[in-house]
Amino acid sequence: MSKKLKNLSEDEAARKIKALRQEIEAHNYSYYTLDKPEVTDAEYDRLMRSLVALEEEYPALITPDSPTQRVGARPLDTFGQVRHTLPMLSLANAFSVEEAAKFDERIKKILKLPADYLMEYAAEPKMDGLAVELVYEDGTLTRASTRGDGVSGEDVTENIRTIKSIPQDLRAAGAKRGGAVPPLLEARGEVIMPLSGFKKLNKEREASGEALFANPRNAAAGALRQLDPAVTASRRLDIYFYGVGIVEGVDFKTHMESLQFLRAMGLKFNPYARIIKGLDEVYAYFEEIREKRETLDYELDGTVIKVNDLSLQTRLGQTARSPKWALAYKFAPMQEQTLLLRIDVSVGRTGALTPVAILEPVELAGVTVGRATLHNEDEVLRKDVRPGDTVIIERAGDVIPEVVCVATSPQERAAPFTMPDKCPVCASPVEKTGAIHYCIAGLGCPAQLKKSIEHFCSKKALDITGLGAKAVENFVDKGLLKDVAGIYELTKEKILSLGEGWAELSASNLLASIEASKKPPLASFIFALGIKGVGERTASVLARRFRSIETLMEAELPELLDLSDIGPLIAPGIKEFFSEERNRAVIDKLRAAGLRPLPPPESEGVLKGKTFLFTGALSTISREEAKRLVQSAGGDTASSVSKRLNYLVVGEKPGSKLKKAREMHVTILTEEEFLSMVKKSVAVD
C-alpha cells in the first residue's frame, strides 16, 4: 500500500485525506450523535487505517482537526486565555417547590401575563460537569474554552478535540441535512465524566497510590485541564450541549429550535430535554428526572427550566450574574453536615476492621443517613475526625455515604482515634497488613463466621435461598451454625426450633434449596469458600486449571503463580487458605455431607479463551445462568468492557457497556445468538 501512496502527488494526497476525513466525520456523527451507525466497525477501521497510512506518508498534511489526532496533540506549557464574545452567565437556583413557584410567578408578572397562564418552558437535566464554549468557524472547530469567570476562560481546544462526541468539522453533519453550516457558531455545553469511567479512574489511581477524585465533576475538570491532551484522551469524557452564544446567519424563535439546530450540526443535547407547559409540569419533570438520575451513567444535580420563546427571553433580560428567564431547580444536596457521635469498628468477612462513623441521623438526598464509612485507620487520622466534631458527609450515586472532612470541632476535642488492638467482636488479637487491620481469628470470630456463611449462600456462590443476613445471624447466635458445613446438617426440627417466623413451608423450602446446592459448578464452590482475593473470575480460572477441589487443595505456589490471572498477592493467600487445618476440615465435612462440585467440561469447549459480558435484561434465562453456561462451555466472563472482552451479549435496555463495547470494537451478540453459540459448543463437548 505504501508504495502506491508514494506515487500520489501532494495535491492528490491532500484531496484523498480531505475526502477520508469527511467520510470518517460523517460516520462519527451517525455513530456518536445519532447513535445510528451506518457502516460496520470493520469498515470504519478500514477508513481510519487508510487515513493514518496517508498521513504517515505525508506528515505535512496532518492538521490538529484530523480524526486521527483525537488521541491527543502535543502537551502545552500553559493554557492561553480566551475572552467569551458573550459572557457565560450562571443560573439562579431553587431548592424547593415554593422557590420554583416564585420563579414562574415573577416571570408572568414581568411579562404581564395572567397568573394562571401556562408558561412554555424548555426543560433540561442539569448536568454536573463543567461548562465549555466551542467556536466553529465555517464549520471548523477553531477554539474551545472553559467558562472561567464567565468573561474569559482557559483555552482547552486541544483537549476538547479528544472528546469523541465532538465533531472537528460540522460540514459532515451539515452536508447530511443538506444545509450549509453557519459562518460562525458558538456552542455551549457541559463536559461530563461518565460514572463508569470515574469509578474506573479512581480504582486505577488507588492501585497506583495517587489521590482520588472526590466526584466525577472534579475528575472531568482535572481531565480537561491537562496540559498533555493525551491524558485527556485517556479519560473518556463526554459532552451535552445546552445552548448557543453567537450564531451567524441563522434565526431561532425558541430555545428548543436552537438545540435542534445544534443536533443537526452534530452537537448533541441531552435526550431528556423537552418542552413543558406550566408549573405542574415543572414539578412533574423534576420528579421524573430525579428518578431517572439513578439509572444514568453521569451525575445530575437538578433540572434547568428555560423560557422557550426567545423574544420573551429578551424581554425578561438578565442580571449581572444570571438570566431572568432561566432557573436551576436543583435536587437536595448530596452533602450534609451532622454531628459525629462516635466511631465504631465493624468486622468484615475477611476479618478486615473498618471504622464506621455513627452520626446524628440526617437526611441526605432523600435517604436518612446514620452511618458512614471511614475506610481505615489512616483515613481517620488523615481527616482527623473525632467524636463531637461536626462533619461533612457525602453520598455519590449508589455509593455508601462517607465522611468527607471535619466542618467544625468543639474547643475541647476528644482524643484522636486509634484502632483497637483486639477484635471488637471476638477479642482476638488484631494485625495490620498494609493500611488494613485484620482480626486474626478467622472463622473463629462470629462476625467473620456470619459474613462467610452469608457469602457461601449468596447467589453467585451456592445460591441457597432463605439464608440471608438475618437468618444467618439467628442460626449462628443460637449455636445452630458453627461453620458452612453446618448448613448441610440442618433439619426441619432445628430450623423450627428457632421460631423467628420459621414455619413448615419456609423450613421445607430452605431444606430443598440446601439439597439443590449440592452439585454446584466447581468455580461457584471455590468462590463460595471466600478465599481472600478470590473473586468470581479467579475462582473460574482455578476451576478450569485444577478441575477438582482436591487437586486445588494440593496445588503448590509455583503452579498457582503460573496462572495468567493470579498474581503474587493472591497466590500465597490461596495456598495459606488450604493449608489451614480448620479450612481443610470444613471441606472434608462438606464432602461427607454429599457436596460434589462439578468440574468444568472435560473438552476445551468452543468458548475456550473467549470472554463474555452481559448488559441489559435477558429474557429467557437469568444473568447468573448465562454466566454459568459460558463457564461450562469453557469460556470466561468479565465484569467490564476491556480489550480482553470478545463478546458483549445485549439484553433489553442495555447500559453504557454497549456504547463502550462498540467503541472498543467488541462483537455484539443478541441473547438468541448467544444461546445458539453456547448450545453449539455444549453439543460439541
- Which of 126, 455, 610, 657 is close enough to bind ligand IVH by CB under 6 A? 126
Q: Is residue 307 a contact point for ligand IVH (CB under 6 A)?
A: no
CA dihedral 584, 590, 595, 597 (to 10 degrees): -20
Beta carbon of residue 107, minimum distance to ligand IVH (angstroms, whole number): 15
To ligand IVH, the closest distance from the beta carbon of 190 in angstroms equals 4
> Per rule CB under 6 A, is residue 331 in the interface with ligand IVH?
no
Q: Which is nearer to ligand IVH, 125 or 351 (CB)?
A: 125
Which is nearer to ligand IVH, 302 or 530 (by Cβ)? 302
CB of 132 to ligand IVH, least distance (A): 8
Residue showing cell 455545553: 189
Distance CA 144, CA 157 (A): 4
Q: Counting every residue, how long is the chain? A: 685
Q: Which is nearer to ligand IVH, 136 or 242 (CB)?
A: 242
CB-nearest residue to ligand IVH: 131
Q: Which is nearer to ligand IVH, 216 or 635 (CB)?
A: 216
Q: What are phi and psi of 14, to 5 degrees?
A: -60, -40
Dist CA 19 CA 25 (whole Å): 10
* Measured distance CA(390)–CA(410) in Å, rounded: 9
Give the residue carrying C-alpha cell 473467549: 610
The answer to whether 152 touches 81, Cβ cutoff 8 Å, is yes
Q: How far is the CB of 267 from ligand IVH (least distance, A)?
A: 13
* Residues 181/250, Cβ–Cβ less than 8 Å: no
By beta-carbon proximity to ligand IVH, the closer residue of 123 and 531 is: 123
- Candidates 88-96, 193-201, 426-434, 626-634; binding stretch for ligand IVH (CB under 6 A): 88-96
> Least CB distance from residue 88 to ligand IVH, whole Å?
6
Between β-strands 647-650 and 667-670, what pairing exists: parallel, antiparallel or unpaired? Answer: parallel
The stretch near ligand IVH (CB under 6 A) out of 104-112, 123-131, 572-580, 587-595 is 123-131
* Torsion angle of the four alpha carbons 89, 94, 99, 100, in this order, in degrees rounded to the nearest 10: 80
How many other CB atoms are found less than 10 A from the CB of residue 237? 25
According to the binding rule CB under 6 A, does residue 268 interact with ligand IVH? no
Choose which of 247, 326, 436, 570 interacts with ligand IVH (CB under 6 A): 326
Residues 446 and 425 sit within 8 Å (Cβ to Cβ): yes
Hey, which residues between 348 and 407 contact ligand IVH (CB under 6 A)? none
Residue 124 near ligand IVH by CB under 6 A: yes
CA distance 551 to 648: 33
Minimum CB distance to ligand IVH smaller for 91 or for 160: 91
Residue of 89, 180, 316, 511 that binds ligand IVH (CB under 6 A): 89
Query: Among all chains, which residue has been given the C-alpha cell 433580560?
Result: 317
**Residue 323 sits in the site that holds ligand IVH (CB under 6 A):** yes
Q: Which is the catalytic residue, given 126, 383, 450, 451?
A: 126
Question: Where in 128-167 is the site for ligand IVH (CB under 6 A)?
Answer: 131, 147
For ligand IVH, give the closer residue by CB, 295 or 408. Answer: 295
Residues 6+ apart with CB under 8 A from 366: 332
Question: CA nearest 182: which of 142, 141, 132, 136?
Answer: 136
Burial of 482 by CB count in 10 Å (0-12 exposed, 13-18 middle, 19+ buried)? middle
- Residue range at the interface with ligand IVH (CB under 6 A); choices 105-113, 323-331, 428-436, 568-576: 323-331
C-alpha cell belonging to residue 190: 457541559
Please tell me the count of residues contacting ligand IVH according to CB under 6 A: 15
**Min separation Cβ 123 and ligand IVH, Å:** 9
3-state secondary structure of 438: strand
Round to whole Å and give the CA distance between 623 and 549.
Answer: 25
Q: What angle do CA 398, 400, 405 make, to 5 degrees?
A: 125
Q: Residue 383 catalytic?
A: no
Q: Is 328 in the site for ligand IVH (CB under 6 A)?
A: yes
The Cα 216–Cα 203 span in angstroms is 13
The reply on whether position 92 binds ligand IVH by CB under 6 A is no
Q: Which of residues 240-259 bind ligand IVH (CB under 6 A)?
A: 242-243
For the bound state, the minimum distance from the C-beta of residue 451 to ligand IVH, rounded and expressed in Å, comes to 42
The binding track of 174-213 with respect to ligand IVH, each residue x by CB under 6 A or -, is ----------------x-----------------------
Catalytic residues: 126
Q: Residue numbers of the site for ligand IVH (CB under 6 A)?
A: 89-91, 124, 126-127, 131, 147, 190, 242-243, 304, 323, 326, 328
